[in-house]
Structure 1
C-alpha cells in the first residue's frame, strides 16, 4: 500500500478515459495527469481513489516525442483540456486507437476511420463560467478544477470566443461595483452561481444567461444597462433561477431581463432560434461536417420519410428537410418542440412535423400501426440509447439508421445490440468535436439486411415510468 507524499518511479503504459497516464506499481495503479505513454517519470502520491492513487509528476526523466508545451497557462489546473500537453496529431491517433480497442472488445468488425480534425481551435459557441471568492475575498470567475468545486480563475480561454471571455470579466467587475455576491456552494448562500453564454457563429449574436440562486435581483437595471453598454453584441439577457443543490447548471425558472430570450444562428444554410436550454452542438463548423456526413451516408431521396428521434430544436431534421418527402421529429421536452416548430416556420419548411412524446413509445405505436419510415436519425446523450428504444426502433424496421454519438464507446455497445436485430454496420466515422479533450464525436450507418438473432417481442419496450423518465431527463438536459 502506498502512502501520501511517497515518491515512486516508473514508466507510463497508457492513458485512461480521463486523459491521465497510468503508472503500474506492483499490484497498484497510479493515475498521473499530464503524463504520456512511454514516459519515464517520478511522481508524488497526492490522493487515494477507488481505482488506485493519483500521482503528480515530480520529475520527467524521459519525455515522449508527442509531448508539447501547453499554450494555456491553466492547462494543468483547469479540468477542461485533459490532452493539451499532447501534440494535436497524437491526440487524434490516441482517440482513434482507443475506439479501435473498444470495438475489438465488443467483438465488432468495423473500419474505424481517422479522426477528422476540428477546423478551428477556438471552437466553442457555448461558454459556462462559475463565480466565487479567493482567499483574499476577491471575486473570481473561471472554470472548475477537474473533479472539484474549486474555481480556477481564468481571464482568457483559448477555446472560447474572445468576446465571451470579455463579457465574463465585465460581469465580474460589475459584481464588485454593485455588491453582487457569488453563490457559495458550501454555505448555500450568495446570488450568482454561473453565467452561460451562447454565441451565434454566423450571426455574431450573444445570449447571456445569469444563473442565480433566487429571482430577486436588486441591482438588475443598473447591471443590465452597464453590460449592454460595454458589449453591444448582446441580443438578450436572461435570469435563470436554480435553487437546487445540483451540479446541473440551469434551473427551470427563467425571467427575460432584456431582448427576446433567444438568439439566432445559421447551420447548413438554415436559421435556428436558440434559447438558454436549447441543445445546439458546441462546435459549429465541425457540426456542419458531421451532419452532412450523416446525410451522405443515408443517401436520402425525395421519396423518403425521415424520423428524427430525440430531435431537440430540430437542427438535424430541418437541415435534411429539402432532401426528403417528410421529416417527423420526436422529443419529450415541450420547450424544445416549441422551438423546433418556430425553426420550421422561420425557414419556411412545410414538410416537417414535430411531436412532443416519448420517442420509444412513439416508435412502438408507429410499428403497431404499420407506419413506414425509410430512415431514422438518432443522436442520444453520452449514456447512449436504451434497450427500450433500440427494441422499438427494430420493430419499426427502417431500411437505414444513422447513429450520431458524442460517446463512441456507448455507441459501439448499441451497435452490437442492433446487430442482433439484423442491422449491419461496416464503418465508424470520427470527428474531433472537442479539441484538447478526451471526447470524440462519431457517426455510423446501419442497414437492414443481416440475419436477426434476437426476437422482437411485442411488449418488450414496456418499462417503468421511473426508468423511462430518468432516461428522457438526460436528453432534456443535453449532453
Structure 2
C-alpha cells in the first residue's frame, strides 16, 4: 500500500433488508412506544430528522468499522456498534439512501465487545475497532472483502483465502506523525478528533512502537522547558507544527523530524543535545520546513540538524535507507506476508519481465527483481523514484529500472508501441485504476496480474472489468496491515484465460 495514512486510517450500495426486519422507532426526546400501524408506514424513515431515536439490530461491520443495521430498508451506520447487538441510536443525518446515527445505549450486547485499552480511543478516531475482540476484527474484514466482491463481481464461489492476522496486534506501527499543540500550559502531540480541529493528545498510543511513545513524551517536556513556539493553525503563527518519528524494527535505529513553519529554529541545538544524551538509538534529527496553509505534513525543504540523513531498515534480506520523507510500510511484520503473497502470485522463474505500477519507493519491485529477468517500476513522485534507485544500488540489484511517470499515461503509450510485460503488479491509490489504465492492461495481455489494494470496493470494481475482458480470478489474500482499525489490505491474482 504505497500511500501515507494521516490517520490510523465509502459507504456504497449497501444491501437492503426486507421490510419484515423493521426496528422500533421512538420520536425525538421521547421514550414512548409507537403504534404498529405507524411502524408499518413506508414513510417513517423518510420522516426521520436529526435527533430522532431509533432502535436498530446490527447486522454487520461496515467498510469504515461502523455497525450496520437497517431501518425501513435503509442502511443505518452506527460507529461503535457490533453485529448481534440491539442498540438505541440517535439520528445524526437522514439521507435518501442511508442514515447516520450515534450509539446511545445497548439493549443487547455482543460477546465480541471488549474494553478498549486506549483512554482516548473514542475521542481520537485513529482506531475504529479497539472495542472489538481481535478475532472478530479479522472476521469482519474478511466479510468486507467478501461483500465487495459479491456486490460488484457476482462471483458465486469466491476463492478467498483466510486473512493473515497478527499474533500480537499491538505496538506495530513504525512511524508516528503527530500534530503539535499547546493546551492549559502543556504541550500536546496527537491527532485531530474526527471532523474537527480539536487536538487529542496521544500519550502512550498502544498501536505505536513503545520507543516512539517514549521519545515523543520526552520531546514534549523539552519543548516546554526550552519554550519552543508552537504553531497555531488558525492564526498561522508559531514555529513547530509536527513531530515525525520513525523506528527501524530490525535495527532499532530511530529518526526524528521537526516540521516547522519557518527555517529559524533557535532552540534546535539545545533539543538535539538533550535527545542525544537520553536517546542513543536516535541516529538522525532533521528539520522540515512547511510554511504553507495546508494539511499536508511535509514541506519541500528538509535540513539535517544532526546525525545520519537516513536510517536503515530491512525486509527479509533486503535493506532500505529511509530519508525522513521516504515512504515505507507502517507495519513491517505484515508487509513481509504481503510481499510473500505477491511473490507467490507472480510465479517468477527468472525469465519474466515485470511491470510494477504505482511502485512508490520500489519495495515490491526490489522484492520481485531477485526472481525476474527485469522489473520496471513506474511512479509519479520523483523523490520516491530516487529512493527506489538508491535502494536498488544498496542491494546490488541491477535488473530493476525505475521511471518517473503517470501510470495512466505511461502504460497506454507503451502498449501502443507493442510493449507486453509477462506480469503486471498494481498498487494504486484508494480510488483504484482509472479506465485508461485498465484498458491498457487488457490490451497488454499479461500472463498474470497482481493487484494490491487497501480499498476492497474499488478492487472489486476493477476486478469486475478485468473478468469481462479475458481474465479470471485465481485467489484473494487479505492481510491485516492495521489491527484495531477498519483498514484491510488485499492482494489478488488474476490470470489470462
- TM superposition score category, shorter chain reference: 0.7 to 0.9
Measure the CA separation in 1 of the matches of 2:341 and 2:139. 21
Aligned twin of 1:88: 134
Q: Deviation string for 1:337-379 (max 9, x for gaps)? A: 1111111111111222212222233323332332342111111
Aligned twin of 1:173: 221
Partner SS state of residue 425, structure 1: strand
1:334 equivalenced with 2:382 (yes/no): yes
Partner SS state of residue 477, structure 2: strand
Measure the CA separation in 2 of the matches of 1:27 and 1:191. 52
1:304 to 344, 352, 369: 352
1:61 equivalenced with 2:110 (yes/no): no
Aligned twin of 2:298: 250
Matches within 5 A, 1:132-143: 132-134=181-183, 136-143=184-191
Q: Deviation string for 1:55-109 (max 9, x for gaps)? A: 242x323211111122222222221111111111111111111221111111342
Q: CA deviation at 1:316?
A: 0.7
Measure the CA separation in 2 of the matches of 1:443 and 1:42. 37
Task: State whether residues 19 and 83 of structure 1, in contact with CA within 8 Å, keep that contact through their aligned partners in structure 2.
Answer: yes
Aligned twin of 1:321: 369
Compute the TM-score of the two structures, normalised by the length of structure 2.
0.84
Aligned twin of 2:328: 280
Q: Deviation string for 1:3-45 (max 9, x for gaps)? A: 6666554433443332223455568876433211221233456
Where relative contact order (Cα < 8 A, 6+ residues apart) is larger, the structure is 2
Measure the CA separation in 2 of the matches of 1:391 and 1:433. 30
Aligned twin of 2:61: 15
1:423 to 467, 471, 487: 471
C-alpha change, 1:364 and 1:189, in structure 2 (3 Å) is same
Q: What's the C-alpha RMSD, in Å, of the aligned pairs?
A: 2.2
Aligned twin of 2:485: 437
C-alpha change, 1:214 and 1:236, in structure 2 (3 Å) is same
Q: CA deviation at 1:308?
A: 1.6
Compute the TM-score of the two structures, normalised by the length of structure 1.
0.87
Aligned twin of 1:260: 308
Aligned twin of 2:40: none
Q: CA deviation at 1:219?
A: 1.1
Measure the CA separation in 1 of the matches of 2:330 and 2:208. 11
Measure the CA separation in 1 of the matches of 2:180 and 2:374. 46
C-alpha change, 1:276 and 1:417, in structure 2 (3 Å) is farther
Q: CA deviation at 1:164?
A: 0.4
C-alpha change, 1:430 and 1:29, in structure 2 (3 Å) is closer
Aligned twin of 2:177: 128
Aligned twin of 2:33: none
Q: Say how many residue pairs are matched.
A: 446
Task: State whether residues 144 and 456 of structure 2, in contact with CA within 8 Å, keep that contact through their aligned partners in structure 1.
Answer: no
Aligned twin of 2:150: 104
Task: State whether residues 87 and 103 of structure 2, in contact with CA within 8 Å, keep that contact through their aligned partners in structure 1.
Answer: no
C-alpha change, 1:154 and 1:347, in structure 2 (3 Å) is same
Aligned twin of 1:162: 210
